[in-house]
């Protein structure tokens, strides 16, 4: 009887400990074979095309009173070679610790920027428009180091993020001491069939060699509505780019056929070089994508993106050439665990 009672108490204690603290191991393995045309045509195997290949740990501890400690560390992988992604960082995708509760959450560390979260509504895969066009919210500042981020709770489907990053933390006497420092925020509404958001970013100094500040300002607007038979999306990005402002606007439509989703999109990018001397640095981008779920965790997919460059534009794949068209087509497998 005493043994049964002891075992029961141990089981209750173990259950309580599990409820108070948890750690989850997760990941994505994603690889594709693609044919790309830029400076030359090339067939190659690539990693992380529908979702970035990765593994990570995330967890929380119940501190009582509705307060939790949270953390996440996530390492990017090149699944085709086994090498680390994000420049060889051990946990280059994310690495943060924070507190969460009824007030929302506060996180400290390397994190996605609020602008990248808004870009994710439209898509940030390698063949998506906002990756083919080097917008700041999905480029150099899609993830930022030494960041403090506040994430609000949801207010009727609307949430907010505010972030400040300390950049490279250069010495106060450095002529470009504010290089990489940025402030960004977003508002995102997701309720029923409607998703809409706006992201704002200001990089205090986007040039680490010239003295003084060379600021970069950017705004990204996105919207999507699911009509049931199809989901329509639209977006507009505008940001500083040299003497001219870069702008990108596009639309896309997606439809499900059982376990298969097919989408098509069209976008226009203007002033992609930002040079005042460029006579025609615009580009038109077309996308066609399909994904079929083999299970809840595994899918096969295909992506096609074609870029028509103006005389002074060079967007696309495999070192695209100014004034020449570029395209890529790929087929891959993605597995989540």
pLDDT band, very low/low/confident/very high, at 6 (cuts 50, 70, 90): very low
Q: CA separation (Å) from 313 to 125, 226, 279, 291?
A: 21, 34, 10, 30
Residue 317's nearest CA partner among 185, 126, 153, 106 is: 126
Residues facing residue 182 across a β-bridge: 165, 203
pLDDT in tens, 63-114: 999 999 999 999 999 999 999 999 999 999 999 999 999 999 999 999 999 9
Q: CA separation (Å) from 277 to 271, 320, 321?
A: 11, 20, 18
317: how many CB neighbours lie within 10 A of its CB?
A: 24
Q: What is the pLDDT of residue 19?
A: 54
* Mean pLDDT in residue range 53-67: 97
Q: What is the pLDDT of residue 169?
A: 85
Owner of token pair 């917008």: 135
Contact 37, 318 (CB under 8 A): yes
Domains and CATH numbers, the chain: 32-336 (2.40.160.10)
Residues 6 or more apart whose Cβ sits within 8 Å of residue 107: 70, 96, 97, 98, 147, 148, 149, 151
pLDDT in tens, 214-268: 899 999 999 999 999 999 999 999 999 988 999 999 999 999 999 999 999 999 9
Q: What is the pLDDT of residue 162?
A: 98
Question: Does 1 score more than 80 pLDDT?
Answer: no
Question: Does 7 score more than 60 pLDDT?
Answer: no
């Amino acid at each position: 009887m005493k043994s049964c009672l002891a075992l029961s108490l141990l089981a209750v204690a173990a259950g309580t400990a599990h409820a108070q603290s948890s750690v989850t191991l997760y990941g994505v393995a994603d690889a594709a074979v693609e044919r790309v045309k830029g400076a030359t045509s090339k067939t190659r195997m690539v990693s992380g095309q529908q979702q970035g290949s990765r593994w990570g740990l995330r967890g929380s501890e119940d501190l009582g009173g509705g307060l939790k400690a949270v953390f996440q560390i996530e390492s990017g992988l090149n699944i085709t070679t086994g090498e680390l992604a994000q420049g060889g960082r051990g946990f280059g995708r994310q690495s943060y610790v924070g507190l969460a509760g009824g007030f929302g959450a506060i996180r400290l560390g390397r994190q996605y920027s609020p602008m990248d979260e808004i870009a994710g509504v439209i898509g940030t895969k390698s063949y998506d428009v906002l990756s083919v066009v080097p917008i700041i919210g999905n480029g150099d500042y899609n993830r930022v180091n030494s960041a403090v981020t506040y994430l609000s709770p949801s207010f009727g489907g609307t949430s907010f993020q505010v972030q400040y990053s300390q950049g490279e933390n250069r010495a106060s006497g450095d002529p470009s001491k504010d290089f990489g420092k940025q402030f960004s925020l977003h508002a995102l509404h997701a309720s029923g069939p409607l998703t809409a958001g706006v992201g704002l970013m200001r990089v205090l100094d986007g040039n680490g060699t010239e003295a003084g500040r060379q600021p970069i300002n950017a705004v990204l607007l996105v919207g999507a509505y699911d009509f049931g038979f199809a989901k329509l999306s639209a977006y507009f990005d505008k940001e500083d780019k040299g003497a001219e402002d870069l702008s990108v606007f596009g639309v896309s439509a997606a439809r499900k056929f059982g376990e298969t989703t097919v989408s098509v999109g069209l976008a226009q990018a203007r002033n992609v070089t930002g040079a005042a001397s460029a006579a025609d640095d615009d580009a038109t981008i077309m996308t066609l994508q399909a994904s079929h779920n083999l299970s809840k965790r595994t899918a096969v997919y295909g992506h096609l993106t074609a870029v028509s460059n103006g005389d002074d534009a060079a967007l696309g794949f495999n070192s695209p050439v100014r004034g020449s068209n570029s395209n890529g087509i790929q087929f891959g497998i993605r597995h989540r665990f």
